Structures are given as structure tokens and as C-alpha cells.
A and B are shown apart, each in its own frame.
Chain A
Amino acid sequence: MMNKLTPKKFALTFILFLLTASVFAQKTVTGKVIDSGKRPASGATISVKGTTIATTSTTTGDFSIVVPKGRNTLIVSYVGFEDKQVDVSNATNVSVSMSETNSALNEIVVTGYTAQKKKEITGAVSVVNVKDMKSVPSGTAEQMLQGQAAGVTIIGSGSPGEASNVFVRGITSFGNSTPLVIVDGVQSAPGDLSIFRDLNASDLESVQVLKDGQAAIYGARGSAGVIIVTTKKGKGKASITYDGFYGVQTVKQGNVWNKLDPQGMADLYFLAAKNSGQVNGNGDVVSGQYGTGKNPVLPDFIKAGPNSGVSASNPATNLSFYNNDYSKGSIYLIVPANKAGTDWYHELFKSAPIQSHSVTATGGSDKSSYLFSLNYFDQQGNLLNTYLKRYSARLNTTFNVKNNIRFGENLSVFYKDNPKIGNNQEGNAVNNTAWEQPIIPVYDAGGGFGGTSGSELGNSSNPYANQMRAKDNKNYSWQITGNIFAEVDIAKHFTARSSFGGNLNNYYGFYHNYRSYENAENGASNGYGEYGGFNQNYNWTNTLSYSNIFKEDHSLKLMVGYEVLKVNGRQVGGSRVNYFSDDPNYLSLNTGSPTGQNNYSNYYLQTGNSVLAKIDYAYQDKYLIGLNGRRDGSSVFGPDNRYGNFWSASAGWVISQENFFKKNVNFINSLKVRGSYGILGSISNVSALNQYTLYGGGGGSSYYDLNGTSNTTVMGFYATNLGNTKTGWEKDKILDIGMDMSILKNKVDITIDWYKKAINGLLFQDQAPAVVGVGSQLPQVNIGDLQNKGIDLGITYRGKVNKDLSYTIGANIGTYKSLIVNIPGAAGFFEAAGTHNTGNQVRDAIGHPVGAFFGYKIAGIYQSLDDVAKSPKETDAAPGRFKYVDVNNDGKIDDQDRTFYGDPNPKFTAGINIGVSYKQFDFSTVIYGSFGNDVLNYTRYFQDFYPQFQNAKSIPLLTQSWLPTRTNTKYPIVENGSYFSTNGVLNDFYNEKGGYVRIKQLSVGYTISPAVLKKYGIDKARIYFQGANLFTITKYTGLDPEVAGSSVSFGVDYGNYPPSKTFNVGVSLTF
């Protein structure tokens, strides 16, 4: 903005001049300043508004000041109290009563490229209480954020280092719905939270979440919300701080899966055979393991193959026959039955330590500041051979050169080793602890592993063996995140800033596949694979800001800028099989057999550039207006749609600044109403290849053995991608109306927002009929529409009983209702969360929430043939089996009677933070709850239905299943047959209430008085004891109700690594 003198400006200036000149007298005003306790306020600053005239109050609070004629307002400021404006136009003596500052209102909040005081904000921003957040002992920042911000839903697990689902105001996409994260100006790659996940908790300075249209300043990245993180900067005198804790993560006790013991399993086998009429001519049940007869007999030895015996005296159990080495001939196993039952869960899940140690050195002057920190975080998982070990360092520095130039950098580096299981995936280690039968021992008689080899033992694999064999598998990564920036005040009111920041993540790992012998399903060979790659992204941001206050009342801030983005990565990997030895020292890619080798590589690149502008205007701090605009260009769209425009407008009215309000309303200290509307976008779900029709091929997808060689193929191609150049930007319209209020002498802060988030032209894969050749990747098109409506509420209460006892209570609640408005393709729905056993479990359909569970609803159990005859016609209907609801009332049960029976979206989530300090003691707790959501407990599909593999089953199958003599049951009749009317189709048997309330952490601390510490050279010391996940209140019957997943298939429990109850002791020292 140039200061060009326009005629209008000239006129204004002239009039102003005349006004000033015409009144040339002055008067003296005296007065007294008192604080809220009516005590004299000594040292308060009294200034005449619009001038440089100022004075300070005396110890009695009195002052005297000369006020020029034409100036009628005094500004009184006093540390710790709100600034006060006093009208002295008709007074020469005033009494000024100060009220304590509401610190929250003056908190600096980063709202995208610029920072504002909270009281100036016109958008919906959740400002996280970082202290509360950091009190949660976790290896991932996502987990710490859970329950700390209204409207932010986080679903995690107990798996160390595992990514969590993070949804800001519900799911905003059928694909990736991950918010943008900005750490010290460095933007995350689309859909990736990794720059946030591994932050050292001690380094966190502030975390805020932009939730509404104002995130339009991030344009095509802002739709799913923006989490803005700043890390600590150095300040004050040089100091060194140590923060650390050590703890034990305990394991849920008891029969966690409610499994039958070996005798129960044998009884169940006989019950199923009898119920199914599968008996021989004598009416005897025939079993390979439990003998032939009326009742089962537990064997001494498991029949683990054709050669193995069943009784201890059987010569087949002679150990000289034993062989578990494929290279030495046929496998011969001798497996003693564990008649007492193996507790597989507790063979794998054990108490495990967790520890974190941080050292931070910090200091600063008006010329420079520094912060250097080191952290070691080590969380051993409860599950055998899973852990997160992370070493990280950070260096943040700033330098002030002259008065107008500042530069600095933020840099963090970490290295981690993080072997994980495939969490919440069918057949993972957690699942197998449920599946593996208790009669199977961990080890067999020959020192090998016990397993399902043999009849009637199911198809699971020995989870202990799997995890032990995985112990040499490694999954390393290291990452550098940071930026360098320079800021110059190039002219009065003008500041130019340039920041170059990025993230570089490197990973590598290797894994062994052992050729198991103990299981019913064993691999074809051993194998070994390695992989490595990198992901990097950078953003270069240049802004020019202007900030000025005109004529005292008009505050104007302008910012323009542009930004360049690049995201790319590359990976390579390979594997070989048939290794001569499983010795980890022998295994490398080149020592395996070239026959059956496999290798791959790929890379991706995406670029973007943007121009952006922002205007914030305030009149008398009463009327606030904010405008954001951004034009984004992205390489993922075709030339026709390469650029998209995004904008938002917001306004706020600080009612409490109005005179009528001040005069009439006492109990409200501040009140602001605000509203915003914005159009944002998302490109997380569109690939850089989307615009192109492409051809390619791969050995597996299009090569073919034309020559009949049996082991080589001829190169072939196919259309891999069908492009769509017309695909354009998703437009997400967010309307937000909110209110910020402080009441009861600023003790209570309330923030409430109502919003409607309409995502139009949602990018989602086109759902064309299969005749187009859906083996080619169909493009993402703008068809789907989603809509979320909800309310976010945050309340903080600060209380002070006396000088020793004070407390704060913070609560936040986010509610939302998700609705699918449109879906690509003619069908109006698509299905997800498919398993090969049940088909799809989730249907996303117009008029329903995202991720809804779909299938048959159980009306009850058929009690008799008469009942069957009187009910709608149902395939396989028989007494003891499920009677489904005839949804369309056509007298028969078919596909058309499937319906929506569950909704994984919580009605609301809530977090409560309580802090109490009494003298040197402090107490705090974080409570998190999710209410009204359903969980599809798919683990029960295997455990609660007899024919669903012969794995371990749950106790109610034996004790509470339907029988002609036991009719009042929830469990159907146990049969060795699969039926439409039992487990043949997906029904709501697995649907459970998934709401829960959890104490995320509870701690008691003690701060040692500085006098005691002084002789040890310690400035501050605090020790604390803490419990995490102390208890969880839920009706959910699975291991844990917190079940993550993808945007369209969350809340389906395939085998979720549960969080553990943890007890920590920690210390914080400052030198």
C-alpha cells in the first residue's frame, strides 16, 4: 500500500488539522487507581489517549496528569489487569477501578501466517492448553491432543508409535480426512501427520486448531482443519531443564477374550456335531482329537499330523521321530496337549516399561535466543516385540539484527525404531491371541513351537511364534523438520518475511519370513525382504505485512504473500525366498535364491503454488472484520482446472465493549459474537496421475507366459489409469457462528460455535459400471457431497479458594452429525470395509452418515418350526437360528431387507481437564469420552460362531447358545454348518455400543520449595506420580472401545491393540 495523497485524504487531513488547531487549551485531571480488591494500585500507567503524555500512580494509587484540550480519554494500564479507558471530558477527578486481566483473551493465537490476540479473533479456533496436553504420557502427539480441543476427534490405540485417526469436525472426505499440520511454519505433506506425531512433548509451546472458514488462508489444504503447532523459543536467563518419567504399562487381567478352556472346546465340538446330526451309525461323534464316542476325551498329545500319536504311551510320541526342519525331510511333530489351557493373550501381552527423558537448554536476550533440547523416548509395547524407541533433538534460534531485522531457524531431528503389528487388521497378533486354541502349547515336545497343525485346531497361527520370529525385523526412520526464516521491517508499518521450511523423512527396514511348520497353514518357504525410501516436502512462504492504527480507532492489518510447495518421495524394496539358513546374520538380499525374487520401486511428485492475502480490520476493538483469500495452483489437476480460488469472510462484535453493555451487564466481563463463512478445498485424495490416461504394466498385472515356460513371462501393458482432465477443486463451505464469553469476574470462559460444513464436489473415485474396465484406475471426480453440522463448546473455570488453593476445570464438547448428500455414480452408495468372509460391512449412502454399518437386523431367534412357518420366508430358517427383520415387509427376507444398523460416528466427544494446586502440591486429570457411537466387533465373528473356522470360541457358545431346552438366548444354536440365518451374511449380531469414558491421565505432583533446592544449585523441582488410562467405563465387550480405521471404515474392530493402564513417576528439574 503506497501513501499516495489523494484529494479525499488531503481533505480529511486538513479538517483534522483545523480541529486540532482550534482548541489549544488543556486541563489537569487527578484520580486514584484501585484494584479489584479495592487496594491502591501502585505503579499503574496513566496515559492520555492519542498522545505520548503519561504518568504513573503513586503507592497510594493517586495520580495527576495534564490532558490537552480536545483529548478526553485516559488509558490506565496495570500489570495483571485489563487496560481501562476513562472518559474525562466532563471530569477532573476520577476513581479508576481495575479488573484482573483475562489472560486467555490476550493470548496470542496463530491464525495462519499471522498471529492475533484471542480477543481479536473472528474465527473458530481451539486453543489447546498445552500443559494439559503434555500431561498425557504418550509416544505420539496425536494421542496427547485427544480430548483437548472441542470438535477434534482422535481415535488411537495402544500400539506404540501408531498413527491415530484425527478428524476435525467429523469426517470430511471418503478418502483421506487428515487435517493439515503446520509446525513452526512447516506444512505437512497432504494427508500426513508425521511431522506432528513424533514431536517431543517438552518442546511444545502452543497448539491451536483452526476449524472454520478462516482456514481458507490455507486454501486447498484447509478443508479438514488446520493444526498449528509452535515449538518453544529460548528466553530469559540461561537455564537447563530436565523432564523425565519412568513407568510401567500393565496388562488387562483375566480371560480377556472370554475363551473356552480345552475341555469346553471339546464339549463344544461334540455339541455342534450333535446339533448338526453329524454322528456315525452308533450315534457317536467322531473327532480326530477327542476320539469317537458320546463324550470327548482330551488327548495327551495333540494329533499334529498323520504320524503323531494321541496317547502318552503311543510309540509315535518317541522323540527320535521328531523333525521340524524341512531340509531334513518330512515334518514330524510331537505336541503335548495343554489340558489346563494356554492363555495366549498373556503369553504375548506383558507389563512393559515406558520412559522419557528430555533435557532442554534455553536462554535469550533482546539480541538472540536459543533453545536446544534432547529427548529419549522408549515405550516397550505390552505386545511382545513391539516398541517405539525415539531419539530426538531440537535447535531453535532467533537473532535480532539492528532493530528491524530478525532471522532464525527451527530444526528438529529424530531417529526411531518402531516395529509394529498391522494394527486392527484381521489375522494380526492380537487376533491370533483370540483365535489360537487353548489346548495348543506354546512349545511342543521337541522344543519347536506348538500350533494348529492337525485336525480340528483351526487355521490361526501361533502368535507367540510369530512375534518371536519377528524380533529381528526392523523398521527405522529418521526425519528432519524445520525452517529458516528472516523478517525485516522494511518501512514503518511494513514487515517482509520469508520462510523456507520442510520435512525430510527417510525410512528403511527389513523383515524375515520364517517357514513355519507348526500351523495348519504354513508358508511355502522362508524369505527375507528389505525396503527403504524417503518422503520430503517443502514450502517456501514469502509475505509482506502492513499493520497500522488510524486515528486511534481503526486497526488495520494487511498481509499478502505467495508460497511454493513441493511434495515428493521415492521408495525401493525387494525380497528373496528359499534361504539356506534363517540366521539373521546370514540374511541379505543377495544370499537368497534368485528364483522367486521380487523387487519394486516407485516415486511421486506433486507441486503447488499459491498467492494469498489477508485483511483484519477492527474498529475500536468492538467491530472486527477478517477477510482471507487464496489462489492455489496444483499439479494434480489438468490444465483446465489447475487453479482454484478460496476465500473467507468473518466478523465479530465485541458487545462487552459497548457502553450500554458496560453500564447494564455486570456478570459478563466480555462477550463477543462472531460469524464466519469460507470456501476451502482439499487435494489429499487426488493423485498427481488423476488427469492422465496412462498405460503401464507389471509382472503381476499384465505380463503373461505366452511361451509356456512355467516361470517367465512376456511383457504386457494395459491402461492403468483412466484420466479426467475436468476434475477440479473440491469446495468445502463452512459457516460458523460462535460466541466467546467471560463471566463471573473472568473466572469462567465460554466458547461456543455452531457450524455447518458442506463439502461439495468432494473428490472421490468415479463409480462407473464394470464394463468400462475397472481394472484401470478410474479417476477422482467431483461428485460426492458431505455435510456435517455440529456444535463445539469449550468452558474453562478458574477458581481460587485462597492463596494456597486454586483450581481450574476445563471442559470441551464437540458434537456433529454427518450426512452424505451425494455419491458419485448412479447407485447412490458405495461399500467399504470388505472382508473375504462377510463381504462389505459398511455402506456409504446418500442420506446416511459416513461409515454406517449395513446388513441384516436380527429380530430374534426362531423358537420352533411353527415360528418359522409364521415368519417371513427366510433361507435356511430353522429353530435356533436368527430371524431377520423383514425391512420392506414383503414377506420374504432377501437382499432388500439389508439396512443400516449402526453408526460409528459419535454423537459427541468430550474432554475434561481438571487442575488443582494446593500449596506445593498439584493434581491434574484428563478425562476423555466418546458417546453414542457404535462399534462393529468383528472379532466376535470368529469367536461367537462355531463354523467360522475351528479356532478358539467364546464361553457363551457352550453355556448360552440356543437349544430346544434353552430357548431364551441371544446366541443361536451351535452347528457345524454355515447358514444364511446364522453367520452366512453380515448381521447386527456384532454391533455394540462403543461409547466410553476414560481417565486418560491422573497425576499428583509436589514442587519442592526453592529454598531447599538452592544449596543443590537447582532452581525448580517437581516430582509427580501419574496413572494413565486408569479406567474406562464402557459397555463394549471387546478389548477396548477405541477403534480406529480409515475414513470410511472406522469403528470396525478387527483386532485392536488396546491401550494399557500405566503408572509413572516423573520429575522435572530446572537448573
Chain B
Amino acid sequence: MKKNNLKLLIPAGLSLLVFLYSCKKTYLEVPAAGALSQSVLANKIGVEALLVGAYSLLDGEGSNAGTGNGPWATSSSNWVYESVAGGDAHKGSDPGDQNLITPIEQWNATPANGYLDQIWQQRYDGVQRANEALRVLKLAKDVSTADVSRITAEARFLRGHYHFDLAKLFNNVPFIDESITYSAGNFLVGNTAAILPLIEADFAFAYANLPETMSSVGRANKWAAAAYLAKVYMFEKKYAEAKALFTLIIASGKTSLGVKYALLPKFGDVFNPAKKNSSEDVFTVQMTANDGTGAANANSGDALNFPYGGETGCCGFFQPSFTLANSFKVDANGLPLLDESYNTNPLKTDMGISADKPFTPDNTTPLDPRIDWTVGRRGVPFLDWGIMPGSIWVRNQAAAGPYEPLKHLFYKSQEGVYTDASSWTNGFTANNYHLIRYADVLLMAAEAEVNGGGSLSQALTYVNLVRSRAANPQGFVGPINNSGLVSPTNYQIGLYTSFPDAAYANKAIQFERKIELAMEGHRFSDLVRWGTAKAQLDAYAANENAQGYLSMSGVKFTTNKSEYLPIPQAQIDKSQKDGTSVLVQNKGY
């Protein structure tokens, strides 16, 4: 090649390349990889999938939001905020482990406590997922009227649920409907408007528009919406409305698969993952194990809440309280000690007794048999794991007490089936969380009867329904469920013969909720709505301290403050408009 040619060729080539470069503007248009655009989803299948996405946050995790301290802070059961703060259980574990829980347990959390921001984030993410389904539904053209109505109702049910969870804990919180989006910039919504009526409206819509039977058991149906709506009425103290609705539910309520609501014959079966989605499940959060996600859909909110030592799992959190165990003491008729005397002469424990020293559990004090499905105590069969061996299963008995939780545990025989093999502990289980179960409905119904113009005898019937199931000896721990193990002999449970007056009835119902639904994430907000939190919890703190749980030493419930958690400081800070936050902090903080 001649030099001259080359001299020309190079600049010519360069010019050509510049030309090509300028032509190819699409070079900078890189499509998003591994993701979908809204237009692809604006159809029936897409909207249904968005709805599933909204359901999927019921398990308390799976969102990028609210992950800071782990899924325990956002557990669907709210065990920290309801059961621990409500006196069912101690935080457990070593004192310094997850010690952000401690101030919550002591009804003295500060607005900067990371747990609060975390659950706030996770639940609002659920709200927005429900809203997203509603938003895209409006763009879809191929959805039948019936499906529009059902999908809207399901989404509003879920939105109601996520809001309600927050409202229970934080009182007034912003209501975020589908018009609120990041891109619209209209997200500075205040928290001064009453929230419960808005939540009520969502459930009322769901109740009016959901079919009785659904395509899958995990979906909310008409009756689940009815029960949730009635529950919201209870929190609004609209007992008459609640009573009417509960009556209807008890008469005609069915599960999403069309099975008439009924209590399972054996109390323990309610918590057995092998018996999940029974006639007792009104609305239940579905958990899975071994689904290929590395336990991301398991009951990870409870993953720390297993005995420490042995092979049941990890971490030794959520240890039932002395007071809770004592509450299962019954009188000669097998009825609870409604006079609140259960803490005098507390139930014998192995507190301060090393596991290699002998200990015999109390076998004379009459006890409600539900105790041993609720509280793991030394010397008693622990599902099919054998006899609970005492402090060797307790992480720090001196600091956190002798008891272990039970209701969310899996059986040894279920290991690898209902537990996820791919995670760092066995505690990622497929055990569902019962958001509302039929016994809960019956007890709420009883309460509504008493306070909503119904009859005491009807209330009595409901309570006794719950009690007679608990009294089924086939359902006691021991010989039936755990071959070779013997159940304690001092079980005693009887039915109420009458409710002489409303006050007595309320006491009985409240006590029944305490022991039937113990450790299930209902207690604290129950106490607050009954107005008994101060009395119950101060007595609780005093008893726990006396029995050796020194974390409650000197702890007092502060009226007009401790009823609700503080609004997370981070959210107040992020919600400023013209220098003032649209979020108002709760009283006392």
C-alpha cells in the first residue's frame, strides 16, 4: 500500500467511524434486564400476579423494606410487640442479644428504636403492593367485571390488614390509598385523621365483594373479610355491629375452600403444620419450607424462637413468662383463677436448678391442659422431642427464665419436611401463622355478645365451645401424640356453668383469650382496647421481677404513653413539609 493511500485511508476511516457513531443513537438505549414494564403486566394475569405479590408480604419478610434487624422485627405474629410487650413472654436469649426488644418489652421504646422503623417500612410496603395491584388493574382491559370486583376486594383486604397491624401498634398512622405514589410526589400524608374508619371501609368493601369460596385456600374470602371487619369493630368498640357480624360468621362462615368453620377436635392440632388450613383457619398466613428460595417464605419471623441447645433450632428467644404459666392454674372446677390470684404460690419451676440436678415438675396443682401446648417446661413432654430437659435447653436461664415456647414449633418427625434445610438453622419452618382462627372468632363473638346488646348465655356457649375442645383428653400432650411419653396427671379443665353478670363474663372471656391465644400475637392490643393494660402489666412486671426475671425490675406501664409505640423518628424526619413533619408523634414521647 502506498504511503499516500494510507494517509488518506486513516482519516477517511476515522470520519466514517464518527459518522457511524453519531448515527447510532440507540447505542445508549439499553433495555432493563430481568425486569418487566408496567404495560406487560396490565392484563389479568399480570394483575393477579401483583396481587400475589401483595399477599406474599403477609409472612413478614421478602421485602427490601424493613430488613435492618432481621425478620423477627417484622414477624407476622408481632410476637415482640404483642406477646412479649403483652406479658405472655420474655425476650429470652442473652440479655444483650437483640436488645432493641428490651425497651419494647418494658413499654418504653424510644422513637429511634430500629425495630419500629423496620415494621413500619415492611407493613407500608405491603400497603403499596396492594395499591399497585389496584393501580395496574385500572389499566388492564381483559379483566371481567367479577374479577375486577374480586381482585379489588382482595387487594383492599390486604391493604386493610397491613394498615390495621400498624394502627394496633402505633395508633394513628397515615392511610395510604392507591392514589399515593412516589412518582406523583403526594406521599407526605399526615397521621391525624382517624385511621380505623378507613380500614373498616376496606374490609367492608372486601366483605361485600369477595366470593365465599376462592380458588385457593390462602386467599381471603368473604368470611375472612367479615371476621376481620368484625375484629376492627371490636377495636372501634362497635360491639353491636360486631355482634351481628359474628353471629352471621358463626352461622354461615366457611373457609376459602368452602369448609364450614369449626374448631379442630384437638387443641394441639391447631399448631401442627401437618394439619394446616383446617376448618379452624379463618385467615392464615401461609409459610413454606424448601421452596427453593433459601427459606425466604418460611416463618422466619419466629426463627429465633426455639430452645437453645438440643436440635430443635436456635437462639432461645420468646420464653414464656412466669405469669403466663401461672395463669394456667385452675380451681377445683377446672376454671381459671379469675380473681388474679394465680401468681400467689406460683407454679414450681426449675429456675436456678442445673439440668444435671434432679427436678420433678409440679404434679399436684390443677392445670389447664393447654399449658403444655403453650409453655415448654422441664419434665414434661415437648412435642415429640422427648422430655424437656430444663436449663440445658435455655440460653441464659438466670437472665430470661426457665420456659420455652411451643406453639410455632415443628415436630422432630417433621424435620426437613416442614423445616427448611437450606438455612442456618432449623427454625425456618412451614408453620403457618393464624391471623384469625375460629377460637379467636368465638371469643370475640362472646365479647361482642356481652358488650353489644347480646346475651350472656350466648357468650357462655361460645366460651364453653372453646373450653370443651381444650378439655378433650385425646388432645392432651403425652401418650396420644408422643408415644411412650406420659402426660402430667394434674390436668383439670371444666366448663363455665353460668356468667352471672357482664363484668364476670368479660373477665372470663378476657382470661380465656389470654390462655387460649397465648403466645399468638394478640395480647398487648387486647389489653389496650380493654383498658386493663396498666393494671395487668404492672402486676405482671412485679410478679416477673419477684420470680427472678430482673429485666422487669422497677418497670411500670405509663398510662397515656405506653399504650402505643412511638412513631418512628426516621419517618417523622423524612416526612417534613416546610420544616414541619406531617407525622405527629404519639402522646408521651
A1024 at the interface (CB under 8 A from B): no
Q: A596-B422, A773-B124, A839-B114 are in contact. Are A977 and B550 (CB under 8 A)?
A: yes
- Which residues in A have their C-beta under 8 angstroms from that of B110? 894-895
Residue of A nearest to B427 (CB): A524
- Which residues in B have their C-beta under 8 angstroms from that of A575? 422
Q: Out of A292, A598, A777, which one reaches B64, CB within 8 Å?
A: A777
A891 at the interface (CB under 8 A from B): no
- Which residues in B have their C-beta under 8 angstroms from that of A945? 96
Q: A278-B398, A524-B426, A722-B183 are in contact. Are A699 and B102 (CB under 8 A)?
A: no
Q: Are B70 and A706 in contact (CB under 8 A)?
A: no
Q: A525-B416, A527-B422, A704-B297 are in contact. Are A716 and B50 (CB under 8 A)?
A: yes
Separation of A305 and B432 alpha carbons in the complex (Å): 30
Q: A710-B289, A714-B216 are in contact. Are A695 and B10 (CB under 8 A)?
A: no
A775 at the interface (CB under 8 A from B): yes
B346 at the interface (CB under 8 A from A): no
**Chain B residues within 8 Å of chain A by Cβ, number:** 142
Q: Which of B204-212, B386-394, B462-470, B506-514 contacts A (4 or more CB under 8 A)?
A: B386-394
- Which residues in B have their C-beta under 8 angstroms from that of A604? 33
Q: Which of B127-135, B192-200, B495-503 contacts A (4 or more CB under 8 A)?
A: B127-135
Separation of A753 and B312 alpha carbons in the complex (Å): 64
A859 at the interface (CB under 8 A from B): no
A608 at the interface (CB under 8 A from B): yes
Q: A603-B33, A706-B216 are in contact. Are A977 and B551 (CB under 8 A)?
A: yes
Q: Are B121 and A770 in contact (CB under 8 A)?
A: yes
Q: Are B181 and A772 in contact (CB under 8 A)?
A: yes
The smallest C-beta distance from B399 to any residue of chain A, in angstroms, reads 5
B277 at the interface (CB under 8 A from A): yes
Q: Are B183 and A693 in contact (CB under 8 A)?
A: yes
Residue of A nearest to B181 (CB): A772
The smallest C-beta distance from B589 to any residue of chain A, in angstroms, reads 9
- Which residues in B have their C-beta under 8 angstroms from that of A498? 14
A868 at the interface (CB under 8 A from B): no
- Which residues in A have their C-beta under 8 angstroms from that of B7? 488, 490-491
Q: Are B6 and A405 in contact (CB under 8 A)?
A: yes
Q: Are A717 and B68 in contact (CB under 8 A)?
A: no
Q: A605-B30, A774-B125, A834-B114 are in contact. Are A710 and B96 (CB under 8 A)?
A: no
- Which residues in A have their C-beta under 8 angstroms from that of B286? 704-706, 708
A826 at the interface (CB under 8 A from B): yes
Q: Mark B450-482, 1 if CB is under 8 A from A, else 0.
A: 000000000000000000000000000000000
- Which residues in B have their C-beta under 8 angstroms from that of A847? none
B65 at the interface (CB under 8 A from A): yes
Q: Mark A288-328, 1 if CB is under 8 A from B, else 0.
A: 10011000000000010110001000000000000000000
Q: Are B36 and A717 in contact (CB under 8 A)?
A: yes
A532 at the interface (CB under 8 A from B): no
Q: Which of B419-455 contact A (CB under 8 A)?
A: 419-426, 428, 430, 432
Q: Are B571 and A770 in contact (CB under 8 A)?
A: yes
Q: Are A280 and B352 in contact (CB under 8 A)?
A: yes
B317 at the interface (CB under 8 A from A): no
Separation of A715 and B50 alpha carbons in the complex (Å): 9
- Which residues in B have their C-beta under 8 angstroms from that of A525? 416, 421-422
- Which residues in A have their C-beta under 8 angstroms from that of B354? 286-288, 291-292
Q: Mark B27-71, 1 if CB is under 8 A from A, else 0.
A: 111101111111011000010011111111111001111101110
Q: Out of B30, B63, B95, B421, which one reaches A978, CB within 8 Å?
A: B95
Separation of A703 and B53 alpha carbons in the complex (Å): 6
The smallest C-beta distance from A799 to any residue of chain B, in angstroms, reads 50
Q: Are A978 and B132 in contact (CB under 8 A)?
A: no
A223 at the interface (CB under 8 A from B): no
Q: Are A717 and B49 in contact (CB under 8 A)?
A: yes
Q: Are A895 and B112 in contact (CB under 8 A)?
A: yes
B141 at the interface (CB under 8 A from A): no
Separation of A948 and B97 alpha carbons in the complex (Å): 6
Q: Are A834 and B97 in contact (CB under 8 A)?
A: no
B559 at the interface (CB under 8 A from A): no
A577 at the interface (CB under 8 A from B): yes
Q: Are B17 and A542 in contact (CB under 8 A)?
A: yes
Q: A524-B424, A524-B426, A578-B421 are in contact. Are A602 and B292 (CB under 8 A)?
A: no
- Which residues in B have their C-beta under 8 angstroms from that of A276? 398-399, 550
Q: A286-B352, A455-B309, A775-B64 are in contact. Are A898 and B112 (CB under 8 A)?
A: yes
The smallest C-beta distance from A457 to any residue of chain B, in angstroms, reads 10
The smallest C-beta distance from A19 to any residue of chain B, in angstroms, reads 34
Q: Are A488 and B10 in contact (CB under 8 A)?
A: yes
Q: Out of B17, B36, B290, which one reaches A694, CB within 8 Å?
A: B36
B247 at the interface (CB under 8 A from A): no
A564 at the interface (CB under 8 A from B): yes
A593 at the interface (CB under 8 A from B): yes
A768 at the interface (CB under 8 A from B): yes
B494 at the interface (CB under 8 A from A): no
Q: Are A711 and B95 in contact (CB under 8 A)?
A: no
Q: Mark A815-858, 1 if CB is under 8 A from B, else 0.
A: 00000000001111101001011011000000000000000000
Q: Are B392 and A770 in contact (CB under 8 A)?
A: no
- Which residues in A have their C-beta under 8 angstroms from that of B576? 826-827
Q: Are B396 and A950 in contact (CB under 8 A)?
A: yes
Residue of B nearest to A718 (CB): B53
B355 at the interface (CB under 8 A from A): yes
Q: Are A695 and B41 in contact (CB under 8 A)?
A: yes
The smallest C-beta distance from A333 to any residue of chain B, in angstroms, reads 12
Q: Out of A689, A977, A983, which one reaches B32, CB within 8 Å?
A: A689
A984 at the interface (CB under 8 A from B): yes
Residue of B nearest to A326 (CB): B311
- Which residues in B have their C-beta under 8 angstroms from that of A258? none
Q: Are A692 and B21 in contact (CB under 8 A)?
A: no
Residue of B nearest to A282 (CB): B352
Q: Are B96 and A455 in contact (CB under 8 A)?
A: no
Q: Out of A279, A454, A777, A836, which one reaches B98, CB within 8 Å?
A: A836
Q: Are B293 and A698 in contact (CB under 8 A)?
A: yes
Q: Out of B62, B127, B394, which one reaches A702, CB within 8 Å?
A: B62
B308 at the interface (CB under 8 A from A): yes
Q: A695-B35, A707-B216 are in contact. Are A775 and B356 (CB under 8 A)?
A: no
Q: Are A523 and B392 in contact (CB under 8 A)?
A: no
Separation of A815 and B289 alpha carbons in the complex (Å): 54
- Which residues in A have their C-beta under 8 angstroms from that of B422? 524-525, 527, 575, 577, 596, 598
Of A562, A770, A829, A948, most buried by chain B (CB within 10 Å of CB) is A770
B217 at the interface (CB under 8 A from A): yes
Separation of A872 and B98 alpha carbons in the complex (Å): 26
Q: Mark A523-548, 1 if CB is under 8 A from B, else 0.
A: 11101000000000000001010000
Q: Mark A891-914, 1 if CB is under 8 A from B, else 0.
A: 000110010000000000000000
B218 at the interface (CB under 8 A from A): yes
Q: Out of A708, A718, A773, A827, which one reaches B127, CB within 8 Å?
A: A773
- Which residues in A have their C-beta under 8 angstroms from that of B391? 288, 455
Q: Out of B96, B128, B273, B570, which one reaches A949, CB within 8 Å?
A: B96
Known: A455-B395, A635-B28. 18 other contacts (CB 8 A): A330-B311, A689-B35, A695-B36, A696-B35, A705-B287, A705-B291, A706-B286, A708-B218, A715-B49, A769-B188, A769-B574, A770-B571, A771-B189, A773-B125, A834-B114, A894-B110, A949-B94, A949-B97
The 4 A-B pairs at the shortest CB distance, nearest first, are namely A700-B296, A773-B128, A716-B52, A827-B573
Q: Which residues of chain B have a CB within 8 Å of any CB of chain A?
A: 3, 6-7, 10-11, 14, 17-18, 21, 27-30, 32-38, 40-41, 46, 49-59, 62-66, 68-70, 94-100, 102-103, 108, 110-114, 117, 120-122, 124-125, 127-129, 131-132, 174, 176, 180-183, 187-189, 216-219, 273, 276-277, 286-294, 296-297, 308-311, 314-315, 352-357, 389, 391-399, 416-426, 428, 430, 432, 548, 550-551, 569-571, 573-577
A-B contact pairs, 28 of them (CB 8 A): A454-B309, A455-B309, A488-B10, A496-B10, A523-B425, A524-B419, A577-B422, A596-B421, A603-B33, A642-B28, A695-B36, A697-B53, A700-B294, A702-B129, A706-B55, A707-B216, A714-B52, A719-B128, A771-B124, A773-B182, A775-B66, A834-B69, A836-B70, A839-B68, A895-B110, A945-B96, A948-B97, A977-B550
